[in-house]
Structure 1
Amino acid sequence: MTAPVAVVTGSDSGIGRATAVRLARLGMDVGVTWHTDRAGAERTATEVTDSGRRAAVEQVDLTRLPEAADVVDELADRLGGIDVLVNNAGTGTATPFTDIAPDTVRHVLDLDLVGPFLCGQRAARRMIAQGRGGRIVNVTSVHEHQPKVGAAPYCAAKGGLGLLTQVMALELAEHGILVNAVAPGEIATPMTGQEDTDVRTEPRPGVPLGRPGDAREVAEVIAFLAGGTNRYVTGASWTVDGGMTRMGPMAGSHLGDDSWRRV
Structure 2
Amino acid sequence: MGRVAIVTGASSGIGRATALELGRAGFDVVVGYGSNRAAAEEAAREIAEEAGVRTWPVQFPLAEPPAAAAALREAVATAGGVDVLVNNAGVNWRAPFLEEDHDAWSKVLAIDLTSPFFLAQAAAQAMVEQGRGGRIINVTSVHEQIPITGGSTYCAAKSALGMLTRTMALELAQHGITVASVAPGETATPMNGHDASVDPRTVARPVLPAGRPGSPEEVAGLIRYLADGSTGYITGQSFVIDGGLSLIAADANVRSVLGDLAAGAPGTRG
Is the 1:189–1:196 Cα contact (8 Å) retained in structure 2? no
Structure 2 partner of 1:244: 245
1:83 Cα deviation after fit:
0.3
2:112 maps to what in 1? 112
Please tell me whether residue 43 in structure 1 is matched to residue 42 in structure 2.
Answer: yes
- Distance in 2 separating the partners of 1:86 and 1:166: 15
Q: What's the secondary structure of 1:78's corresponding residue?
A: helix
- Residue by residue over 1:139-165, the C-alpha shift from the partner in whole angstroms, topping out at 9 and shown as x without a partner, is 000000000001111000000000000
Identity %: 49
RMSD: 1.0
1:196, CA displacement in angstroms? 2.2
**Superposed counterparts of 1:81-120, under 5 Å:** 81-120=81-120
Counterparts of 1:110 and 1:91, CA distance in 2:
10
Deviations 1:65-103 (A, max 9, x none): 222211211111111100000000100222111111110
Show the counterpart of 1:259.
Answer: none
What is the match of residue 228 of structure 1? Answer: 229
The ranges of structure 1 where at least 4 consecutive aligned residues each deviate by more than 6 angstroms after the TM superposition are none
Whether the 8 Å CA contact 1:6–1:29 is kept in 2: the answer is: yes
Amino acid paired to 1:107: K
Unaligned runs of 5+ in 1: 257-263
Alignment TM-score, normalising by the size of structure 1: 0.95
* Normalised TM-score (structure 2): 0.93
Residue 220 of structure 2: aligned partner: 219
Task: Tell me if 1:253 matches 2:254.
Answer: yes
Query: After alignment, is 173-182 or 73-82 more displaced?
Result: 73-82
2-structure distance, mates of 1:120, 1:255: 43
Q: Which letter does structure 2 place at the counterpart of 1:223?
A: R
Q: Distance between the aligned counterparts of 2:256 and 2:35, measured in 1?
A: 39
- Cα distance per residue 1:42-79 (max 9 Å; x no partner): 12101210211110111121111222211211111111
| CA-CA distance at 1:197 after TM superposition | 1.2
Aligned-partner residue type, residue 190 of structure 1: P
Distance 2:145 2:225 in 1: 22
Q: Which residue of 2 aligns with 1:135?
A: 135
| Higher gyration radius (CA) | 2
Aligned to 1:28: 27
Alpha-carbon separation, structure 1, partners of 2:57 and 2:231: 27
